[in-house]
């Protein structure tokens, strides 16, 4: 095992808050966004990033941030439209005065004979590399974009520098137009800032303050401090956002780069009103841990394998039987009992009923699969099936067990154990 995994699991097995956090599904733990591609098909993109925030989506501060950001975006987009409208006639007139006749000739020729464009493209593509420059220069001269004295790309570059920029740039960039240009840049920067903000507060990620009632915010920050010092997480190159929702809009709002131990975030106060600042601070997750979380069975299977290795217990992973039954992990105890473990990662940020329904569904499938194996590949063997889930609240697992109703099932079904990762040690010890 690598050094970083050793360090990570040393924290994981000793820290309940760490188990609660890293046993979340990948879309809850990591910064995951939906991106629309061709045919409007959305795909999920997961980044090796954890966002630490003190803003809950149900809080008033989240709504304040959302409405302020949307309002600022509307203003910035409106400002850009006004600036562009101001520059459009200037640029249009400039191009018309310099290249109007050339553009007209170009339009007339290719309008009458559109196939000529295709012919030129084909000629250009099949031409030798040393002749392609001459083809383009010839076409530009033909329509009057450049004079006959220009015969190379270097001469073309120098011509545009001298004639286009040096002589004519002052016609466009007067003092007033320059002011407008900088205002345009400011509006573009504001749009980038607000879009970055939206990506942070609209992420699917379950933020650090939204995990479980069994953890408090201070304990979670202490956990992140341990992970930071152990280099499991590190400062991100992505921008952090801080804002005071107690002050008026824009009074204290910042986009900045932060390299700070997460424990110090709790001391962020507004310098204007001294009240706590709202913050969204991204941290990079070590790629080795990120790849484990991204895998099919998430951290759950890897944590089980780590525990078995520490206890020097023989095991196999991802074994297939009867062509259609895959067992995530098989291990053998000292009394030669065979444990077959099915790992299931659920979205935790959902209702208790949905979680219990999923547990019961996968329990039933595991029973069917094990019964088939007992009749064929493992006939006569002692098998204990285990449904290992990422649900760390024992009451949910207990309720699911009770609802299965053990009084109405046979002995083979009753042998199935449903447990969380922190309970697996009782099986290993047994």
Domain boundaries of the chain, sorted by first residue = 3-55+220-292, 74-181, 295-429
Quote the mean pLDDT of the chain: 79
Q: What pLDDT is recorded for position 280? A: 86
List pLDDT tens digits, range 369-421: 998 998 888 888 888 999 999 988 878 888 888 888 655 556 556 678 888 88
Phi, psi (rounded to 5 degrees) for 306: -60, -45
pLDDT computed for residue 39 by the predictor: 65
Q: Which of 81, 84, 83 is nearest to 73 (CA)?
A: 81
Question: Quick one: tokens of 385?
Answer: 């099936």
User: What pLDDT score does 430 carry?
Assistant: 46
- With cut-offs at 50, 70 and 90, classify the pLDDT of residue 184: low
pLDDT-wise least confident of 40-44, 161-165, 260-264:
161-165
Q: What are residue 173's phi and psi, to 5 degrees?
A: -95, 75
For 26, 37, 39, 197, 348, the CA distances from 43, given in Å and listed in that order, are: 15, 7, 11, 21, 21
Residue 178 has pLDDT above 70, yes or no: no
Token couple for 241: 């956002």
pLDDT of residue 284: 93
Between residues 194 and 272, the one the model is more confident about: 272
Which residues 6+ apart lie within 8 Å of 240 measured at CB?
255, 256, 257, 258, 279, 280, 281, 282
Residue 288: pLDDT band with limits 50, 70, 90 = very high
Single pTM value for the model: 0.70
Question: What CATH architecture applies to the domain 295-429?
Answer: 3-Layer(aba) Sandwich (3.40)
Q: By three-state DSSP, how is residue 316 classified? A: strand
């Amino acid at each position: 095992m690598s050094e970083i995994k050793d360090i990570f699991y040393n924290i994981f097995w000793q820290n309940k808050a760490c188990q609660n956090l890293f046993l979340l599904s990948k879309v809850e733990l990591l910064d995951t966004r939906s991106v629309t591609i061709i045919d409007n098909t959305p795909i999920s993109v997961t980044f090796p990033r954890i966002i630490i925030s003190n803003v809950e989506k149900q809080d008033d501060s989240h709504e304040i941030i959302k409405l302020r950001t949307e309002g600022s975006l509307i203003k910035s987009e409106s400002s850009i439209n006004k600036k562009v409208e101001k520059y459009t006639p200037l640029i249009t007139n400039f191009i018309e005065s310099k290249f109007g006749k050339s553009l007209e000739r170009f339009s007339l020729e290719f309008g009458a004979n559109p196939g000529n464009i295709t012919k030129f493209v084909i000629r250009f593509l099949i031409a030798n590399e040393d002749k392609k420059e001459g083809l383009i220069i010839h076409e530009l001269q033909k329509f009057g974009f450049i004079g006959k004295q220009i015969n190379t790309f270097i001469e073309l570059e120098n011509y545009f520098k001298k004639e286009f920029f040096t002589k004519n740039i002052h016609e466009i960039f007067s003092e007033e137009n320059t002011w407008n240009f900088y205002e345009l840049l400011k509006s573009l920067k504001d749009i980038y800032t607000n879009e970055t903000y939206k990506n942070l507060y609209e992420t699917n990620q379950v933020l650090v303050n939204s995990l479980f009632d069994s953890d408090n915010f201070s304990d979670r920050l202490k956990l992140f401090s341990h992970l930071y010092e152990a280099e499991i997480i590190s400062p991100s190159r992505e921008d952090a956002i801080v804002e005071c929702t107690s002050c008026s809009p824009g009074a204290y709002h910042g986009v900045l780069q932060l390299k700070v131990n997460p424990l110090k975030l709790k001391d962020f106060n507004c310098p204007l009103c001294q009240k706590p600042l709202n913050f969204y601070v991204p941290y990079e997750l070590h790629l080795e841990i990120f790849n484990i979380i991204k895998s099919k069975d998430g951290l759950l299977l890897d944590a089980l394998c780590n525990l078995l290795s520490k206890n020097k217990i023989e095991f196999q992973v991802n074994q297939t039987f009867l062509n259609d039954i895959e067992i995530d992990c098989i291990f053998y105890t000292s009394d030669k009992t065979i444990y077959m473990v099915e790992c299931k990662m659920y979205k935790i940020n959902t209702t208790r009923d949905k979680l219990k329904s999923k547990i019961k569904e996968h329990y039933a499938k595991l029973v069917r699969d094990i019964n088939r194996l007992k009749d064929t590949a493992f006939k006569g063997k002692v098998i204990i099936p285990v449904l290992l889930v990422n649900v760390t609240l024992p009451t949910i697992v207990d309720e699911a067990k009770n609802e299965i109703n053990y009084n109405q099932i046979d002995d083979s079904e009753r042998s199935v154990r449903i447990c969380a990762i922190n309970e697996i040690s009782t099986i290993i010890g047994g």
